[in-house]
Structure 1
Amino acid sequence: MTPRRRGPRPLPLHLNLALLRGMGAALSLDPMTGAPFSPGSPSWSDAWPISRAGRLEMRRIAEALVAGGHPPERFRAAVLRQLARQDRALIAGLAAYRRHPAQREMPSLPVLWQEGETRLLDYGGAGPPLLVVPSLVNRAYVMDLAPGHSMLRALAAGGSRVLLLDWGWPDEAARGFTLTDYIAGRLERALAAPALRPLGPLALAGYCMGGLLALAAALRRPERLRGLALLATPWDFHAGDGQARERALTLAALLPGIEPVLQATGTLPVDLIQTLFAGLDPWNIAAKFRAFASMDPAGERAHRFVVLEDWLNDGVPLAAPVAREALGGWYGRNEPAGLRWRVAGAVVDPAELAVPSFVAVPGADRIVPPASALALAARLPGARVLPVPAGHIGMAAGGRAEAVLWQPLREWLAGL
């Protein structure tokens, strides 16, 4: 039976982006004005043919055609035909994804501890314990996608007793949580769960936003830990080129506009989170679905694409107080890098970490720019830094993930 899919979420946004791109091309090619089209933010202006490079290329070709005695209208028509072909491929890719029969099917796991919707899942394994902390805004199973392609099961098979803190969907109580409530509350209570006491000191690993939560917990409870791994974890939200700072400040500037939604629902809803992420690379979603249209639907590559895309669209809303802290405090005021981020009243300072650390930095990450993660590594005492030739998600779940991350992480854990 084919799953009922709503994605890519929010679907109207991605369809309208394709329309916006075509309108921008038509304006840029207008024979009367030749007016460049730019929505403003660099992230929204770098798609061919509305990017600066695309406009320069179009101008060069048009001038060459005129010099050769060819009417420029033919070039304009050719560009618009190409855009129409790409739009047809996008629709074909979206339709193929939504009717694809693939589903994630993994065995259920023992639950060692639970509070509200948050569960501590046991992946087994013979060896020292490793507790993995995912982000609050995505489902935890990105690290356990499919049989034979699961970071958590690979780590369990490679010498660690692997435990996953699955935050779950925020219930009514969790909608009022701050970052302190999650870190000094649920995360620390999970660390103190009776089932973990016989296992001894833990290694703690955090992915993306989960890395910041894990770091704060490690600073508060060093006696429970033997090491800390931070995977694609941001620190300096304004680091990198000027565009990184501009994007961060743009996200923060949206906070007053979404405040009515936060107050009405108690959360930052999934579709709004997806819209904010889309703003980091707004044209990528259409590009990947155009590529999917040409894949063999029965092939392993297509199956993996569908399972990963299902995960991307199976998001979790963010508690409203956390959304305010993240957008305003992290992205806007850059509180972590300025040593102004506090958990339970105490400043979170990586320089005070008392256990060995491992920092994985994906070189092609658009969500956490490498400079942001490297700023964290620079402040940690003696951190082992692993450059990863992958993107934010590909690092953990891509086709090369085992070689570029899982195995190096296994080796580091074995050396603790």
Structure 2
Amino acid sequence: MTGAPPRRGPRPLALHLALALATRWAARTPPGFAPGSRSWSGAWPRSRQGRQEAARIAAALAEGGHRPDQFAIAVERALLARDAALLRGILAYRRHPFHRDLPEPPVLWTEGASRLLDYGGRPDARPLLVVPSLVNRSHILDLLPEASMLRFLAAGGARPLLLDWGEPGGAERGFTLTDYVTGRLERALAAAVGIAGGPVVLLGYCMGGLLGLALAQRRPAPLRGLALLATPWDFQAEDPARARSLAATLPVLEPLLQRLGVLPVDALQALFAAQDPGGIAEKFRHFGQLDPDSPQARRFVALEDWLNDGVALAAPVAREALGGWYGENTPARGAWRIAGEAVDPAAIVLPAFLAIPARDRIVPPASALALAGRMAGGLVHHPAAGHVGMVAGTAAKRELWRPLLSWIKALPAAAGV
């Protein structure tokens, strides 16, 4: 790793180690179920379900003729082995020699921290304005030579113009969602249309899809079509309690938002980790078993580097997203407004392509399907992939890139393009 900055991930590292430790303690032999067991104090409070589970384990051990104290020792050893595997995986990741070094495309337009990157294409290429999320780096769509949706589209007949939002600084720390849509995004669209010489296809990924949806409602004339990839709409469609729990973190985060003007990356990562507390540890245990020279290990490291190199979120946007989207479900209720106007997917008459990945844990399919139900005539595509795997996984070319390119090329030609 000479000459390269040391890795900080998985971020926040202290939280992931604490979650692993908490899992270890929670998975230990239930307290007090047998004399001589290595366990917490028998006075430790347990739920009725916990007491029933302890009784079931005790009965199963007795039926099999197993000594409870030996079972407790075996459990402890297994938990220690899991912890050791996690640490090996994290160290293997942090020491891995890979670092992304793809050449950056030309920058054709800038405003504040944002840039418009030109991925080129053939002379007859279909221009495409690509809008990623505000909370992750845009290069997830250009991760590796073999995992670059944008370079694939450029080679196949499109001309992707990627809006790289950049890190919010200065005035951007005070941006609301209205500021982003009616200001930065509308001007990026005007720049893209000027570069292309005519209307463009608008493609939004995840949160970028919501921003693109609002833009398409406000400025349909410069657009030839609208592609929405894993775009949420009904934030409480599948798990209302989870959505409300995210919103409930806002008062806790408020002092941080007021002090910094942004929701920092580690806080964002902690919110994501809370949705699947054991998921990070499990994937690093698996990584520790891979051949570090294998393509699988290389792709894992590239993805983790992207995840851990996140982007802070402007404080007003964090409040709107957590409190409005998750807490009040404003999009699905028709109450999400940009510049005072409710965003209504039914009002958009552009040709639409909606990719709803079947295994998405970030944007549950039910949330995105609610949007598809509001857009009559939109082509709904279900990649057999997850939220990230759909755009950068080993099967992404088959599951999304090719169907998306076919849809783009089938759109009616625009005059002068």
Common fold, TM-score beyond 0.5?
yes
SS of the residue 2:381 aligns to:
strand
C-alpha change, 1:21 and 1:415, in structure 2 (3 Å) is same
What residue in structure 1 maps to residue 38 of structure 2? none
Which of residues 176, 180, 184 in structure 2 aligns to 1:178?
176
Match of residue 321 from structure 1: 316
- Superposed displacement of residue 78, structure 1: 1.6
Deviations 1:125-180 (A, max 9, x none): 12110111000000000010111220010011111011100000111110000001
Aligned to 1:250: 245
Gaps of 5+ in 2: 35-41, 412-417
User: Which amino acid in the other structure matches residue 14 of structure 1?
Assistant: H
Q: Which residue of 1 aligns with 2:19?
A: 17
Number of aligned residue pairs: 399
Query: 1:255-283 deviations in whole A, cap 9, x for unaligned?
Result: 11111100000000110000001111111
Per the normalisation by structure 2, the TM-score is: 0.92
What are the within-5 Å matches in structure 2 for residues 83-232 of structure 1? 83-126=79-122, 127-193=125-191, 196=194, 198-232=196-230
Q: Secondary structure at the match of 1:105?
A: coil
Q: Percent identity?
A: 61
Q: Could you tell me which amino acid in structure 1 is paired with residue 249 of structure 2? A: L
Task: Answer whether contact 2:33 2:58 (CA < 8 A) is retained.
Answer: no
For 1:197 and 1:403, the matched residues in 2 are separated by: 30
Amino acid at match of 1:25: A
* Cα deviation code 1:29-78 (max 9, x no counterpart): 5426597879xxxxxxxxxxxxx8x9988865542321132212222222
Q: 1:226 to 1:59 in 2, by over 3 A?
A: farther
What corresponds to 2:405 in structure 1?
410
**C-alpha distance in 2 between matches for 1:82 and 1:27:** 12
Q: Please tell me whether the aligned partners of residues 133 and 207 of structure 1 are also in contact (alpha carbons under 8 angstroms).
A: yes
Q: Please say if residues 153 and 401 of structure 2, whose CA atoms lie closer than 8 Å, have aligned partners that are also in contact.
A: yes
Could you tell me whether the CA contact under 8 Å between 1:219 and 1:352 is conserved in 2? Answer: yes
Where 2:227 maps in the other structure, the secondary structure is strand
Contact 1:27–1:35 (CA under 8 A) maintained in structure 2: no
**Equivalent-residue separation in structure 2 for 1:102 and 1:84 (angstroms):** 29
RMSD: 1.9
Distance 1:277 1:108, change over 3 A: same
User: Aligned pair in 2 of structure 1 residues 195, 212: CA closer, same or farther (>3 Å)?
Assistant: closer
Deviation at 1:85, TM superposition (A): 0.7
What CA distance in whole angstroms lies between the structure 2 residues aligned with 1:290 and 1:196? 49
Of 250, 270, 275, the match for 1:275:
270
For 1:198 and 1:31, the matched residues in 2 are separated by 71
Aligned equivalents of 2:197, 2:273: Cα separation in 1: 41
Secondary structure in structure 2 of the residue aligned to 1:24: helix
Which one of the candidate residues 378, 386, 391 is aligned to 2:386?
Answer: 391
What is the alpha-carbon distance in structure 2 between the residues aligned to residue 286 and residue 308 of structure 1?
Answer: 15
Distance in 1 between the 2:196 and 2:253 partners? 46
| Matched-pair contact (CA < 8 Å) for 2:121–2:155 | yes
SS in 2 for 1:278: helix
**2-structure distance, mates of 1:297, 1:179:** 42
Please, which of 67, 75, 80 is the counterpart of residue 76 of structure 2?
80
Amino acid at match of 1:164: L
- Output the CA distance in 2 between the equivalents of 1:75 and 1:28: 11
Larger radius of gyration: 2
Which amino acid in 2 is paired with 1:349? Answer: D
Quick check: 1:110–1:121 contact (8 Å CA) kept in 2? Answer: yes
Instruction: Check the 8 A contact 2:29/2:72 in 1, yes or no.
Output: no
Unaligned runs of 5+ in 1: 39-51
| Number of the residue aligned with 1:308 | 303
